[in-house]
Amino acid sequence: MAVLSLVPHQQLSRKWRQSALHAHSDLLPFSIKELVAHLLKEQGHPYRDSLFLEQIAVWEAVWEAESMLEYFVGMVNFPGFIADLHRLFYRYSSGEVSMDMFTEREQSELILLFTLYREKLAALGVLDQAQQLEEAVKYWPQSSLNQEVDQIDLYYLGELTKLEQRLIETVCRGKKVNHCQFSASEAAVSAVAARKPVEEIEHIAESIVELLRQGVEPERIAVISPDLETYLAVIIPIFEEYKVPWQRPAVALADTPMGKAVQALLRLMQPVWMKSDLEQLTAPGWGLPFALDQQEHRALKLAPPNLRSKQQWQAYLQEYSGWQQVFQILESLKTGAGSYPVRHYLQRLEQVFVHFPLHKWPALDHQQWAVLHQSYHGLQQIGADLALIKQPVNLAQFIQMWTSAAQGYALPQPRSFLQKIMVSSLAQAVGMGYHTLFLVGITESNFPRPPKRDWLSRQTLPSRDLELYQHLLRSTENLQLSFSEEDHTARMNIASQVFPEQFVHIDSQAVLPAPKSICLGSGMLTDSEILNHIAAKYKHQSLSVSRLNIYASCPFRFLCSELYSLEEEEMLSDEITPLEEGNLIHETLRIYWEKKGQIPIDEILAEQFKAANQPLTRRILDMVTAFNRKDVELVESTGYYPTHLEKRFSDLIITTDFGSIKLNGIVDRIDVNADGGFVIYDYKTGANPTVRDVIKGENLQLQVYLLASGELVAGQAHGIAFYSIRTGSRTGLWRDSTHRKLGLTRRNSGITPDDEWDQLVEEFKKTLRKYLEQILSGYFPVAPVNDRVCSFCPYRAICRKE
């Protein structure tokens, strides 16, 4: 007799099935979904299995019942309502939700919608997930598996609905049942903390390369993350650089060039034409292959952000022949207001692909060509499913349905005979028996996830992440946990509660093999004439904070720019530089608070960019207005008002063994409260430096500003921080006694006990004194604090650091 093993997912059942086949074993591994499909196939039950068709049935039910709805009528057009209602119907069918939980009016409308939903499913020939389970429960007693199997091995199956539990109880009835673990022992756990996600993934890539060198097979290594979508943007380039043989997760059609192009087309069928949609539609490699020339692309890039209508865009771009072709294509998509059969919209999309058949789409290699071909097949499949809708729909409804379908359509993964490292979600790694499993990005905010509240049923759904983690411990021999102290937006992270107390902290220098430092001899200038010249220079003039910051990042760069006065190569460009953009934004914020918020921020911003003869892009406008909203809320809630703006200082004296040097600079902003306490802010349009950068002296701005504040403002310093205009986040150091007044919590790093604040100031003085003594003593080695400094250094051709 055979043994039926119930396992959590299809990948594991396939792996065990192959092993059983090679070992001539009677083991029959199934996931629940596979078991249900097997039983219905044996039964000969005709049905279609499609989550998208299930959603179509929900849409049609809602549209048909809309005139009879009162309680839910205001939610019908809410983008997430259909998906939430679909989940509720599944939970109701599975016994997880009772109609008694709802008010009488809610019950009547939900029962109406559910009845119509089941009618639409029947018309489409679809059995939803709950109906498939019900049929499988009914058929099991007469199935061949029931006759063949005398033992059931039950493994961890994840969170089960009552209907799934009923199926398992039915399958186990009258059989010998073993409750099994994936392994008799738990994995050896190690932990690593990195400063940034890039350093975290570089360390993992290095570890994988070493494991492969030791002979560990690729299929016995995996990388998983609770935040996989965010981490993939880091994993892809780094794994390619390290030549890691890995299997990418399935790509949704919505994320492919063809999918993005169609989404842009659909949005441009509406009366309002956004610049971002035209950019997506014509982007080389990511839009339709219009083959616009460089001037035509540049014309769109320089277009003002306030153009909205078709007529405005046609008038602005009328002189470009390439854009006339774009407008002709868009004109063919034109549709009137009101509702139409779905075929009406599908035919217009089909006309576009008459102009752009597959062979016109650019593909650099076979893989890109395969993605294009699979995407085109996906478009046809989605079109065939949408054509089944009988209800006329308006354009907004069609866009919502098409987008949902494209997001849910996963392109088939390429087949390969080569072993590859799996990169996947946590659930897909359970039971796989890896040699080493890398669990990356486990922070307090994403693992374990907090309980969720379902707004329709008003139920609180508990998190099962800790239970999942216990089974991951038995799914691998070695488990390495890791997280980065900053996320990709430079916000601080806290380690997950499962992160062990003992861990290794890696620096960027330790991740990659340390490159050889090429310097001028020992990096010391010993000629007395040169040293006297340096001393004389700073005896008669002050040193700016920004120049001193260059020394902290790389002494050799300071030597080239500050002492040798080597000019940077000028890059001719009609586009605004980051420095010019930052200066205009800084000036806008200064004027806003100088005028006490009486002039809207967007008006000041537009005036500044107009005066500078620079285009004001939607990106900048949205970024600055969003920051301003958060900033005003912060000022109003904390009581710290921007009092000193662009405050200059020029006589901060630092005494060294080689003489005294004056420092100068400009403090962007000092906020003062009613008690005279103040906070120093330095705006950043890019990522904020970290607290570690400040404390370690790798960024000196806040250190200098704090020391200079005694001459600028009376009162006690309550904090010093970098203030990101892009995200609204504040990164810096804060007095413990006042941090809550500033809207901060203990989770924020940089909270410093009051009795340590004076010591902190003394440490800052020592740091500045050390750097200034090195300058005066002629110490200028090629020693950047990290490789990122070199990426934008204009003197790379001189030092030739590799």
Three-state helix/strand/coil letters over 607-652 = HHHHHCCCCCCHHHHHHHHHHHHHHHHHHHHHCCEEEEEEEEEEEE
The closest alpha carbon to 261, from 341, 336, 339, 358, belongs to 358
Is the pLDDT at 465 greater than 50, yes or no?
yes
CA 417 vs CA 165, 213, 490, 537, 756: distances in Å: 37, 20, 40, 67, 61
In this prediction, residue 194 carries a pLDDT of: 94
In this prediction, residue 180 carries a pLDDT of: 96
Token code pair at residue 521: 């001899």
Long-range contacts of 311-316 (CB under 8 A, 24+ apart): 312/273, 313/273, 313/278
Q: Mean pLDDT, to the nearest integer, of 81-100?
A: 91
Q: How confident is the model at residue 569 (pLDDT cuts 50, 70, 90)?
A: low
Q: Mean pLDDT, to the nearest integer, of 497-514?
A: 69
Q: Would you mind telling me the total number of residues written for the chain in this entry?
A: 802
The CATH number that domain 2-47+132-179 falls under is: 3.40.50.300
Q: Mean pLDDT, to the nearest integer, of 75-95?
A: 87
Please give the backbone phi and psi of residue 100, each rounded to the nearest 5 degrees, phi first: -65, -15
Is the pLDDT at 426 greater than 80, yes or no?
yes
CATH 3.40.50.300 fits 188-250+418-446+461-488, yes or no: yes
Residue 346's identity, in one-letter code, is L
Q: How confident is the model at residue 515 (pLDDT cuts 50, 70, 90)?
A: very low
Task: Please give the model's pTM, rounded to 2 decimal places.
Answer: 0.61
Is the pLDDT at 514 greater than 80, yes or no?
no
Lowest mean pLDDT, pick from 89-103, 174-188, 362-376, 630-644: 362-376
Out of 138-142, 300-304, 697-701, 779-783, the most confident range is 138-142
pLDDT in tens, 164-203: 999 999 999 999 999 999 999 999 999 999 999 999 999 9
Is the pLDDT at 802 greater than 60, yes or no?
no
At 479 the three-state DSSP class reads strand
Which helix or strand (DSSP H or E) is residue 247 part of? strand 246-247
At 5 the three-state DSSP class reads strand
Say if CB 693 and CB 651 are below 8 A apart. no
Nearest-angstrom CA–CA distance, 691 and 492: 9
Q: Mean pLDDT, to the nearest integer, of 753-773?
A: 92
In this prediction, residue 575 carries a pLDDT of: 63
Lowest mean pLDDT, pick from 547-551, 556-560, 574-578: 574-578
Query: Average model confidence (pLDDT) for the chain?
Result: 89
Please give the backbone phi and psi of residue 716, each rounded to the nearest 5 degrees, phi first: -105, 135
What CA dihedral angle connects 739, 649, 794 and 698, to 10 degrees? -40
Is the pLDDT at 391 greater than 90, yes or no?
no
Q: Mean pLDDT, to the nearest integer, of 338-366?
A: 87
Q: How confident is the model at residue 490 (pLDDT cuts 50, 70, 90)?
A: confident
Nearest-angstrom CA–CA distance, 399 and 433: 43
Lowest mean pLDDT, pick from 6-15, 222-231, 504-513: 504-513
At 656 the three-state DSSP class reads strand
Q: How confident is the model at residue 518 (pLDDT cuts 50, 70, 90)?
A: very low
Is the pLDDT at 779 greater than 50, yes or no?
yes
In this prediction, residue 520 carries a pLDDT of: 47
In this prediction, residue 417 carries a pLDDT of: 56
Q: How confident is the model at residue 513 (pLDDT cuts 50, 70, 90)?
A: very low
Q: How confident is the model at residue 416 (pLDDT cuts 50, 70, 90)?
A: low
pLDDT in tens, 104-134: 989 999 999 999 999 999 999 999 999 999 9
pLDDT in tens, 42-78: 999 888 888 889 999 999 999 899 899 988 888 887 7
pLDDT in tens, 21-32: 888 888 899 999
In this prediction, residue 516 carries a pLDDT of: 35
Q: Which residues contact 18 (CB under 8 A, 6 or more apart)?
A: none
